[in-house]
Structure 1
Amino acid sequence: MKLSAKEWLDKIQALPLERKIKIMNVCGGHERSITMAGLRSALPKHIELIPGPGCPVCVCPEEDVYQAIQLALHEPIILVAFGDMLRVPVNVAKGEIRSLDEAKAAGADIRPIASPAEAVQIARENAGKTVVFFAAGFETTTAPVAAMLAEGVPENLSVLLSGRLTWPAVAMLLDSELPGFDALVAPGHVATVMGPEEWQFVVEKHKMPAAVAGFSPESLLAAMYSVLRQLLEGERFLDNCYPEVVRTGGNPVAQRFFAHTMDIVDANWRGVGVIPHSGFELNALFQARNARLQFPSYEDVSRKRAGQMPPGCDCAKVVLGKIYPNQCRIYGKACTPRSPVGPCMVSDEGACRIWWSSGVREAQKAVLT
């Protein structure tokens, strides 16, 4: 019998917690569910929920966004991208174009899309023009891009790929001296595609409790209860609290598409730096579809640096769970959803945008302890 959110809360309230326990929720979708449901205020005071690096728009490297802007401005192409990417700002001098939205306003042919199928449709409807699909995202959005390529695309469609894998960022945090959390709630949709086994390293290598969760309050609270019990009872295992969707081995079809079209490479994360084996790159079979090779002159190598956030923006610390969103120096001041400075205030999966949308308007000076 499935328990209600209240019943899970009652079970968590009954646990004999005697110290502060920090649980990182990796996924931006999880953060949205947690915040909108008010779970932080409903949980015991000893439990601290820390947003993690699960926002693909937030970590998309500045050089990739910059290259997409320059392509759209200077080449006779149609550039398509998932809607959130159009508002992501880059660091340029005052008065220069700093986002795809601004490039569109300046006359570039830039179109927001919701799926790779729309990119294919636009390419077919504009056979005389090159269409570049700026494809940023984690495993769940990159898998449909791989499927699109494997199934065949029009000759005038190429891909500027900025895909990332989720688990290496968590591995980087856990390998650091101060990871900043005691337990992990792993992303359900990523586990659906790649398999829950991908998160086994958290338990085996780092002896940390972990649970895969869905996006309902019930699933999230079940995962939190699982990791809390593991800590209290001295157990360590990977629990699947999203069994209706997550299966052992993940989605083999999606994984075959990945293997057929892409390689896994070291990749840059905005504000974080290069994380080993954390990026997708089109493989040798699909180099003819690689926009980086078609338009190499627009890649600005000088932008590949760890500190790519705008001045005053603490998005990197938010992404890594080092501070809460409203502890950023410009949260709610220079940076709001109407006028975002950093990428965490742009995306619906960005922690700053989520907190602002939930009504958190007051900035705080304190940092996570």
Structure 2
Amino acid sequence: MTLTAQEWLKKIHELPLDRPVRIMNVCGGHERSITMAGIRSALPECVELIAGPGCPVCVCPEEDVYQAIQLALRTDMILVTFGDMLRVPVNVPKKEVRSLEQAKAAGADVRPIASPREAVRIAQQNAKRQVVFFAAGFETTTAPVAAMLLEGVPDNLSILLSARRTWPAVAMLLDSDAPGFDGLVAPGHVSTVMGPEEWNFVFEKHDIPTAVAGFQPVSLLAAMYSVLRQLLEGKRFLDNCYPELVRPGGNRAAQAQLAEALNDTDANWRGIGVIPSSGFSLQKRFAKNDARLQFPDFDTENRKRAGQMPPGCECASVVLGRINPNQCKIYGHACTPKTPVGPCMVSDEGACRIWWAAGVRENTATGVKTVADSSSIPVLPEKPE
């Protein structure tokens, strides 16, 4: 019998929880569903849900964004990218172009796309111009990029690849002195492609209960119940609470395409640092379509010194689950969706943007609320009577 979300919530409240429990999710879609459905406030007070490294836009290296901006500004090429990359800011003086959106306003030919096929179509329609596809994402969106390469792309299309793998970031957290969570809700879409088995290391090596979830409250609550029950009963395993799409072994065809077109590589995560085997690079046979090789003059090594988050921005701590979005001092003040300082306020998968969209206006670090209809006017706390 399939339980409703309300029934799963009742089962969670009936569990004899006697200590605080922290459960991390590592998917921007999960965080959006959790926040918009009000799941946090519906759970027992001792259960804390943490947003982890689930936003590829948020961790895309600053030097990659800067390179894309310079390619767009200083050449006659067309630069295409997924829409939420357009507003990601880089660390340059305010008088300079700080995002692809600003580059477009300055006259660069920057176009948002929704799929790799659009990049191919634009290249075919503009055969006399170079087209660069700035491709950031996790495994789910990277597999179609690999498929595009294997199908064959026009000679005038190059890929500036800034893709990341999800599980190495979680492994990095678990190998640290203070991972900060007691249970894991593993990402559904990534598991659909790569297989749920990728997450076995969480319970096998670290003794932390894990459950794969989909994006509806029913699946998320079922996964949370499984994690909590595993903790109580002292059992550790990987529970698949998204059987509609997640199958043992995952999507073998997609995995084969990733392996055939791309290499695993150590990769930099913005504000976090280099994580071993956490990125992808194009295989040598696609050198003619590798923007890093075709346009080496725009790969600026000194940008890596500026690769941290902007001053005052604590996106890295949010991504790692060390603080909540509204515990960043500039949340709701200098940083809002209209005037984003850090990438977590830009992307629809960024925890800061998600919390803001859900109506979270109080900054717990400063005690100041922001008017719901404004992104810049703070409301001071009322004086106690």
Under a length normalisation based on structure 2, what TM-score does the superposition of the two structures give?
0.94
Any stretches of 5+ residues in structure 2 without a counterpart?
Answer: 367-385
Q: Aligned partners of 1:175, 1:241: CA distance in 2, in Å?
A: 26
SS in 1 for 2:45: coil
SS in 1 for 2:279: strand
What is the CA distance between 1:220 and its match in structure 2? 0.3
Aligned to 1:93: 93
> 1:5-36 CA distances to partner (integer Å, 9 max, x unpaired)?
00000000000001100000110100000000
Amino acid paired to 2:15: L
What is the CA distance between 1:2 and its match in structure 2? 1.0
Q: Aligned partners of 2:92, 2:21: CA distance in 1, in Å?
A: 41
Q: Aligned partners of 1:346, 1:175: CA distance in 2, in Å?
A: 29
SS in 2 for 1:205: helix
> 1:210-245 CA distances to partner (integer Å, 9 max, x unpaired)?
000000000000000000000000000010000010
Aligned to 1:258: 258
Amino acid paired to 1:365: A
What is the CA distance between 1:307 and its match in structure 2? 5.7
- Aligned-residue Cα RMSD (Å) equals 0.9
Q: Any conservation in 1 of the 2:61–2:307 contact (CA below 8 Å)?
A: no
SS in 2 for 1:122: helix
Aligned to 1:28: 28
Aligned to 2:247: 247
Q: Aligned partners of 1:109, 1:216: CA distance in 2, in Å?
A: 38
Under a length normalisation based on structure 1, what TM-score does the superposition of the two structures give?
0.98
**2:160 matched to 1:163?**
no
**2:210 matched to 1:221?**
no
**2:54 matched to 1:54?**
yes
Report 1:32-43 matches (<5 A).
32-43=32-43
What is the CA distance between 1:94 and its match in structure 2? 2.4
Aligned to 2:346: 346
Aligned to 1:330: 330
Give the share of equivalent positions with the same residue, in percent: 75
**Larger mean Cα displacement after TM superposition, 231-240 or 295-304:** 295-304
Q: Aligned partners of 1:305, 1:114: CA distance in 2, in Å?
A: 31
Amino acid paired to 1:161: L
What is the CA distance between 1:306 and its match in structure 2? 8.3
Q: Aligned partners of 1:26, 1:81: CA distance in 2, in Å?
A: 23
Aligned to 2:372: none
Amino acid paired to 1:363: N
Aligned to 1:174: 174
> 1:105-153 CA distances to partner (integer Å, 9 max, x unpaired)?
0000000000001101101110110100000000001111001111111
SS in 1 for 2:266: strand
What is the CA distance between 1:305 and its match in structure 2? 4.6
Q: Any conservation in 1 of the 2:69–2:103 contact (CA below 8 Å)?
A: yes
SS in 2 for 1:266: strand
**2:361 matched to 1:361?**
yes
Q: Any conservation in 1 of the 2:62–2:306 contact (CA below 8 Å)?
A: no
Q: Aligned partners of 2:137, 2:148: CA distance in 1, in Å?
A: 15
Aligned to 1:274: 274
**Would you say how many aligned residue pairs link Structure 1 and Structure 2?**
366
SS in 1 for 2:171: helix
Aligned to 1:154: 154
> 1:320-343 CA distances to partner (integer Å, 9 max, x unpaired)?
000000001100000000110000
**2:205 matched to 1:192?**
no
Aligned to 1:231: 231
Aligned to 1:124: 124
Aligned to 1:133: 133
Q: Aligned partners of 1:253, 1:84: CA distance in 2, in Å?
A: 28
What is the CA distance between 1:365 and its match in structure 2? 2.0
Q: Aligned partners of 1:89, 1:196: CA distance in 2, in Å?
A: 34
Aligned to 2:382: none
Aligned to 2:107: 107
Report 1:207-218 matches (<5 A).
207-218=207-218
